[in-house]
Structure 1
C-alpha cells in the first residue's frame, strides 16, 4: 500500500469520527463543522491553525474540526472520496466544485454574500457560484536566477519564444540546467507547469473559450493548436532543456532545487514569490540563495504578454451540512478576515480579490510578480479551471501523468493530445 493511500485511509478514519452531514451541536453548545485543508511549504499546519483560530475567536459558538488532504495535488480527488463515503466535509478550502456541485452537494453563494468580491462571477457552474473567489493567482509565471542568466551572457528575460529558446541554449552551453521541474511521488501536478504555460500562451490566448468548446465537442485536444503547444513541451525536453531529475522530486524538493541554484528557470505559480522573498530576507548566512530572483510571463511567439491566471481558491460549503449556517459563516469570515489575508499574502503571495483590501508591505519578488500579473492579457490557466470551462473529472490527473511521460521522453505532442481526447471520452465527454 503506497503512502498516499495510507494517508488517505488514516484521514478517512479520522473523518469518520464526525462525518459531515451528521454533526450536532457539541456539549458546550458550540456548533461543530469539519474543514478540509491542504498543506504546502507555504501553507503549514501552523498557518491553518492560526487562521482557523482567528475566525473562531470572532465566532466562539463555532468549533472547527480540521481535516488535511494527503497532498495539495490530491485534494480534489480526496474530497470526492469523502463524498463517496458519505463524509463530505462541511467546508473545503480551494477544492474545485466541478464534480461535487452537480448533484446538489454544494451551497450556491448569493449575490449579497458575494458583494465584497472583486470578481463575484468567477468560475460559474450552471450560472451559480459555489466557490468564494477571493484569491487571484498566476499559474504559472517563470521565476529565474539572475546570477545564472548573467553568467550565461543573458542580461534580460526573454520576450518571445524564440528568445526563450536562445536563452535556454546559452544556459545549457554553460553547463546550467535551463528548467527546474518536479513531478515525483504524490506531486505529479508539479510536472505540468511548462505545459500549462504553453497552452495559455499558444491556445487560450487565441481561443479563450477552448474548454467550453471542448465540452461542446466543437474542438479536440488533437486539434493543431493544442498539439503544437504540447509538442513545444516535448521539444524542450528533447533539446535537454528540462531537468529529468525532477521526476523524482516532490513539490517541496522542486522548490528547494531552484532555491539551491540547480537550474536557471522555474515555471511556478505566483505563490512562489513568498518563498523567494523569504529567502532574500534571510540571506546567505541562513542557507538561502545568494542570487536575485526575477520573474517573467512565459513568452509567446509574437511577444504578446499572456498571463494564465485564476481567481477563486476560496471555500466551498456542503449544502447538506447539519450546521449549514455555521459553515457559511465560517467560510465567509475565513476569506474576509483582514489578518487572515495579510498572513496569506505573506506566506503564499496571494493576490487578494476582495474590494478595499490593502496588502501589507511585501518584498521585491512579490512586487515584481504583481507587476507581471497586471501587465498582460489574462487567460485561464489550463487544468486550474473550476467552472463550466473546467476539465471533466479525472482528466486533470491524466494531464499530469502525461506531463511526467513527456518529461521522461516517452511521448510527444500528438500522442499526448490523443491520449487526452481518449480520457475525455472515458470521462463522459464528446
Structure 2
C-alpha cells in the first residue's frame, strides 16, 4: 500500500506545533469564556459596556471552514453579549467576489470581511489598514500599496489528490506517482476497473480554479512569479508554449475519461459523498475537505498526495498572500465598531479558540504564537510535504498583487471559457487568443 506511517511534525517556517497525542479531549479545544476571551470582555463585565453591532461576511463554500468560523462567532458573542454580529454570509452558487460586489451594490458592504481580493478593494478604498496592535499577532503579512490590510485567517493550504485507499489498492496502485506520467498511469488503472478516477465539483465556479491553477503553476507561475505582469505589459501571451501546455494537459484530464462525466452538475459539497460511496476514486482539493470526508463516513480510509509535474517536481500553493480578516473603510471610522471588531479578531486568534478553529477546518496556523491541536494523519502528510525543501511554493494566478495582479474579472470569465471548450470538445489556440483579448480589455478598464 502507498499509505505511509506518519510521525509528529514540527514546521518551523509556519510556526506550527502539531501534537498527535494528548489533544483529543474536547476540553483542550473547546472555547471557554475564562480561558479565551480577551481581558475585559468576559460575560461578567460585558453587561456594563455599551451595546454595539457590526456586520461580517466570510466565504461559505467549504462546509467545515464555514462551521469553524460560525462557531468562533457564536463563542465570541456568548462571551461578549454586548457585541452583536450581523452575519451577511449566504450560501450561493455565485463566486465569492461577485457575492461581495452584489452586497456592496445594495449598500450591504460589511464592517468586517474575509478579504481575498485585497488589491481590488484596497485600490477602490473599500477596506482599511489593519490596526498595528493586530498586525503584531502575525510573523509576516504581505503589504498591498505599502500597507497591511489583512489578519490572515490561516496560511495558504496546498491542494492534492484525496483518494480512496481501497480503490487504489483494488486497481493495483502501490506507490505515490513520482511524475505526472505516473499519475496518469494510475488513472488508467482506475478507469480500467470501471470507476471514475476523479470527481470534479464543476457546478461551483470556484472549484474550476483547483485544476486550472495546478497546471498554470506547473507550466508558468512556479518558474516565473511575474508572468502576470508580463502578460499585462504584452510581453507574454496565453498562446505561448507554457500556457498552451497547461491547458492542453487540463483538457486531456477531462477528454480522456479521467474525470467523472457529471462534472458540470456536481457541486463541490457533493464530491466527498461521491468519494466515500465509491462513485469516484479521488478528488483534487485541499485539507479543508478532510473533516467533511470524515464526517460523511468516519470509517472511510483515505489518503492524500500532491500531483507532480512532468519532471517530477511538486509545485503547490504555499507562499504568504494578502488575505484574511479586513476592516471596511467605513467601520474603521467608528471607534466603537473598531474596538468591537478588534476584540473579535483578538478572540478569534486567542490560543484555545484558534486551535478549535484550526482543528475543525484542518487549517495551517498563521499566528506568531505556536498553536497546538490534534491533526489527522492526512493533514500530517500535507505538513510533511510542505516542510520538504524540494517542494516549490508558489501562488495561484489570482493570488498575486501589485504589478502582478490578475484583472479580477478575468478569473471567472476564464473558468467559464474552459467549461465552454470542454463541453464542445474543441480546445484550440483560438480560445487562448480570447483569453489574451479579455485580459487586455480588463486591464484597460482597470486603468481608466
**TM-score, shorter chain, exceeding 0.5:** yes
| Corresponding position: 1:201 with 2:218 | yes
- Paired residue for 1:135, among 133, 138, 154? 154
**TM-score scaled by structure 2?**
0.79
Distance 2:76 2:101 in 1: 26
| Corresponding position: 1:232 with 2:249 | yes
- Paired residue for 2:406, among 391, 394, 409? 391
Report if aligned partners of 1:222, 1:414 keep a CA contact under 8 Å in 2: yes
Report if aligned partners of 2:273, 2:296 keep a CA contact under 8 Å in 1: no
- Paired residue for 1:55, among 73, 76, 80? 76
- Paired residue for 1:295, among 299, 304, 328? 304
Report if aligned partners of 1:139, 1:310 keep a CA contact under 8 Å in 2: no
- Paired residue for 1:163, among 166, 178, 182? 182
1:236/1:38 CA distance change after superposition, 3 Å: closer
Unaligned runs of 5+ in 2: 1-48
| Corresponding position: 1:241 with 2:241 | no
Distance 1:243 1:334 in 2: 43
- What SS class does the counterpart of residue 300 from structure 1 fall into? coil
Q: Which residue of 2 aligns with 1:178?
A: 197
| Corresponding position: 1:43 with 2:65 | yes
| Corresponding position: 1:424 with 2:446 | no
**CA positional deviation for 1:248:** 0.4
**CA positional deviation for 1:229:** 0.6
Q: Which residue of 2 aligns with 1:361?
A: 374
- What SS class does the counterpart of residue 408 from structure 1 fall into? helix
- Paired residue for 1:319, among 300, 305, 329? 329
Deviation by residue 1:99-119 (Cα, 9 ceiling, x = unmatched)? 221122211125543222133
Distance 1:131 1:72 in 2: 25
1:386/1:96 CA distance change after superposition, 3 Å: farther
Distance 2:101 2:357 in 1: 26
Distance 1:119 1:272 in 2: 26
Deviation by residue 1:102-155 (Cα, 9 ceiling, x = unmatched)? 12221112554322213322xx32222222224123342221222222222210
- Structure 1 range deviating more: 243-252 or 128-137: 128-137
Q: Which residue of 1 aligns with 2:284?
A: 267
Distance 2:343 2:214 in 1: 35
Q: How many pairs are equivalent?
A: 391
Q: Which residue of 2 aligns with 1:342?
A: 355
- Structure 1 range deviating more: 138-147 or 211-220: 211-220
1:167/1:41 CA distance change after superposition, 3 Å: same
Distance 1:146 1:272 in 2: 16
**TM-score scaled by structure 1?**
0.82
